[in-house]
Chains A and B, each alone.
Chain A
Amino acid sequence: MAGLNDMNKQEKIKAIEEMIQIVLLRIPKEIEAMHFYIKAAEKSTTDEAKNLFIALAQQEKGHEAELRRILNDLKQQLMELKNG
C-alpha cells in the first residue's frame, strides 16, 4: 500500500479526506459508548462492576480525545496541502 510520501498532491488530499471521514464518524460512537458505560456504572449493584464500567468509560473518553487529536492533525495537514 502506498504511503502518503509516494502520492501526488491530489492523491494525498483524497487519502487525508478519507481518513478525516473515518475518524470523524467514529467520534460520536466513542461518546455514545462512554455514556453507555457511565449509565451501566450508575446501575451497577457491586463495586467491582461499577469500577469496571467506570474504567471502560474512561477508556472511551481516551479514545474520543485521541480521535479528536488525530482529526485536528488531519485537518491541519489538509489545509496545509490545499494552501501549499
Chain B
Amino acid sequence: MKREDVKEFNGENGKPAYIIFKGKVYDVTESRLWKNGKHMGRHKAGGDMTDFISMAPHDEKVLDKVKYVCDIEEDIPKEDPKEKWRNLYRRYHPHPIFIHFPMGVLYFGVFMLFLFLIFKISEFERTAYYALLFGGTSVFPAVITGLMSWYINYDRTLTEIFKNKIIYSSFLILLVINAVVARVLSGNQEEGNLWFYIYAISYLLAIPVMTFVAYNGGRITWPD
C-alpha cells in the first residue's frame, strides 16, 4: 500500500480507519479511541502519526493492540523542497545581517542632516546624502532577504505583522527613492529650494517608517 492510498482509509462514512506509524500501516477501525476516524478530536485517520507520538500521553506500544496491515510501499520520504533553503537560511541568516545596514546608516545620515540644519556646514549635508545613497541601496537586500524568510519559514502566510512589514517597507523604498531624486533635482542648492525640503522631509520620514518595520521584525523574533 502506498502512502497516498492510506489517505482513503479515513474512517469516515463507514470506511476502515488506517494510520501510518514509522512506515507501517495499522488498522484502528475497531479502536474505541478512533471513532469515525478521529482520535481525541485532533488526529485524522489516513495520516501519518509518527511525528505526533512524542506529544501523546502514551508510547508506541499502544500499536500492539491494533491490527498491523502492511508496510508502506516505496516509502521514500518526500523531502520538502524548501528544506534545503531553510537549512541555508538557518546557517547564514541573511535577513538579520542585512537589516542592520539601512538601520545603522540611515539613522546616522539623518543625524548628519540634523547637524547640517543646525550648523549649516555643507560637509554634514554631503555626508547625510552619501549615507542616504548607501543606506537606501541597502534597503533592497534587506527587503529581498525578508521576503525570502517569509517564503521559506512562514509559507507566505499574510498575518498582521507581515502585512505591516510589506506595506511599510514599500513605503520606505518610495521615501528613499523620493529623497534621492529630490536631492539630485535640488542641484546642491539648500536654502529656499523646494526640492531640498522634499529631500529633507522624505529622509526624516524614512526613519519612523523604518523603525516601524524593524519593530514588526522584532515581534517575529520575540513574539508578544
Contact = CB atoms under 8 A, between A and B. Distances in A.
Say whether A and B bind each other.
yes
Interface of A: 17-18, 20-22, 24-28, 31-32, 35, 55, 58-59, 61-66, 69, 75
Interface in B72-106: 86, 90
Interface of B: 42-43, 51-55, 86, 90, 153-154, 157, 159-161, 220, 223
B28 to A, nearest CB: 17
Contacts of A35: 90
Contacts of B220: 25
Nearest to B87: A35
Given A32-B90, A35-B90, A62 B55 contact: yes
Contact of A31 (B52, B54, B86, B157): B86
Given A17-B160, A21-B160, A58 B54 contact: yes
A17 to B, nearest CB: 6
Chain B at the A interface: SS class: helix
A24 B154 contact: yes
Contacts of B55: 59, 62-63, 65-66
Chain A at the B interface: SS class: helix
28 contacts: A17-B159, A17-B160, A18-B160, A20-B157, A20-B159, A21-B159, A21-B161, A24-B159, A25-B154, A25-B161, A25-B220, A25-B223, A26-B223, A27-B154, A58-B53, A59-B54, A59-B55, A62-B51, A62-B52, A62-B55, A63-B55, A64-B51, A65-B52, A66-B52, A66-B55, A69-B42, A69-B43, A75-B157
